[in-house]
């Protein structure tokens, strides 16, 4: 298990990078500092600077580890093969919700997960606008800042709130979601920031989040927070979500097992 000292050092690093790199450029980006790394994939100079600072700090905190960052992957897709390797691996999303950030809006988050030989070992999601840190250690529970998250009683279907952003869904899944929303309390398109969705899920503001694209930097941190809070994260066919070099497609995270069954029955073909 990751020790408390290292966990605190990572939290401090993430907060420091947010304060010194990410927030100073927020709403101050020049047009030349915003671009695309692929069709519809916004990237800013702050994404790259944040990843550089997080990478250097994490490698210093854990010598012999490696980093798989979203922006480094954009330049070298072979980096994904490091996941599951012999060295402890940090997975980094330097700014999750970049489209929001580039527009001068929120939310956006900084996200880090540590993967070791046993699987996900620790995770951090930080929303610098809300100044809220979600963190978890395998076997040690999930915390929002200093508050430990405890399981809650299951809700009825009409009480369930969550997100199913259909932008990238295939046609059959999109149709099922559109027809199935009437069976649940509230289903929205989300906030364009997976990290914020996970914070809201473990914080009790919503009970489920369903995604199609499942890059490890978007979901490895949140999946551990959900698991350690007593929740469930699975592929849409019911298989467990595993952090592997193959990102796969489709993911449903819920705050507990009954909710997973209810939402899957309503929204998954």
CATH fold of the domain at 157-267: D-Maltodextrin-Binding Protein; domain 2 (3.40.190)
Chain-centre distance for alpha carbon 37: 20
Going by their DSSP bridges, the two strands 109-116 and 119-127 should be labelled as antiparallel
> What's the pLDDT at 229?
98
Mean pLDDT, residues 13-41 taken together: 95
pLDDT at 84 > cutoff 90? no
DSSP 215: -
Take residue 9 and report the two structure tokens written for it: 């050092």
- Cβ–Cβ < 8 Å for 143, 135: yes
> What's the pLDDT at 1?
60
Mean pLDDT, residues 146-168 taken together: 93
pLDDT at 168 > cutoff 90? no
The 3-state secondary structure of 88-113 reads: CEEEEEEEECHHHHHCCCCCCEEEEE
Q: Residue 246: helix, strand or coil by DSSP?
A: coil
For 255, residues 6+ apart whose C-beta sits below 8 A from its C-beta are: 151, 152, 201, 202, 204, 207, 208, 226, 229, 230, 231
- The span from the CA of 185 to the CA of 251, in Å, is 20
Residues of CATH 3.30.540.10 domain(s) within the chain? Answer: 4-148
For 38, residues 6+ apart whose C-beta sits below 8 A from its C-beta are: 74
pLDDT at 66 > cutoff 70? yes
Does the reported pTM lie above 0.75?
yes
E strands, 6-148, where?
A: 34-38, 41-44, 66-69, 89-96, 109-116, 119-127, 132-137, 141-144, 147-148
Q: What are phi and psi of 134, to 5 degrees?
A: -100, 130
How much is the mean pLDDT over the chain?
95
Going by their DSSP bridges, the two strands 89-96 and 66-69 should be labelled as parallel
- The span from the CA of 212 to the CA of 27, in Å, is 29
Q: Residue 235: helix, strand or coil by DSSP?
A: coil
> What's the pLDDT at 182?
77
Q: What is the pLDDT of residues 187-244, one digit of tens each?
A: 999 999 999 999 999 999 999 999 999 999 999 999 999 999 999 999 999 999 999 9
CATH value of 4-148 in 3.30.540.10, 3.40.630.30, 3.40.1400.10, 3.40.50.300 = 3.30.540.10
């Amino acid at each position: 298990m990751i020790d408390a000292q290292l966990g605190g050092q990572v939290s401090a690093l993430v907060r420091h990078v947010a304060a010194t790199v990410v927030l100073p450029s927020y709403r101050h980006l020049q047009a030349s500092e915003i671009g695309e790394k692929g069709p519809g994939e916004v990237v800013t100079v702050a994404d790259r600077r944040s990843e550089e600072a997080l990478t250097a700090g994490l490698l210093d905190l854990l010598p012999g580890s490696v980093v798989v960052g979203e922006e480094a992957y954009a330049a070298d897709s072979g980096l994904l093969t490091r996941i599951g390797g012999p060295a402890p691996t940090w997975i980094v999303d330097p700014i999750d919700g970049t489209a929001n950030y580039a527009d001068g809006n929120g939310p956006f988050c900084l996200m880090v997960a540590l993967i070791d030989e046993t699987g996900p070992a620790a995770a951090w999601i930080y929303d610098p606008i809300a100044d809220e840190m979600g963190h978890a250690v395998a076997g040690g529970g999930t915390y929002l800042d200093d508050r430990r998250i405890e399981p809650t009683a299951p809700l009825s279907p009409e009480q369930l709130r969550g997100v199913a952003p259909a932008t990238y869904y295939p046609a059959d899944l999109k149709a099922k979601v559109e027809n199935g929303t009437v069976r649940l309390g509230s289903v929205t398109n989300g906030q364009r920031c997976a990290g914020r969705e996970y914070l809201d899920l473990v914080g009790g503001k919503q009970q489920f989040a369903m995604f199609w694209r499942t890059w490890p930097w978007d979901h490895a941190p949140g999946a551990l927070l959900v698991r350690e809070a007593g929740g469930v994260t699975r592929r849409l066919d019911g298989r467990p979500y595993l952090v592997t070099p193959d990102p796969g497609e489709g993911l449903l995270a819920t705050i507990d097992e009954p909710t997973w069954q209810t939402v899957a029955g309503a929204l998954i073909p």
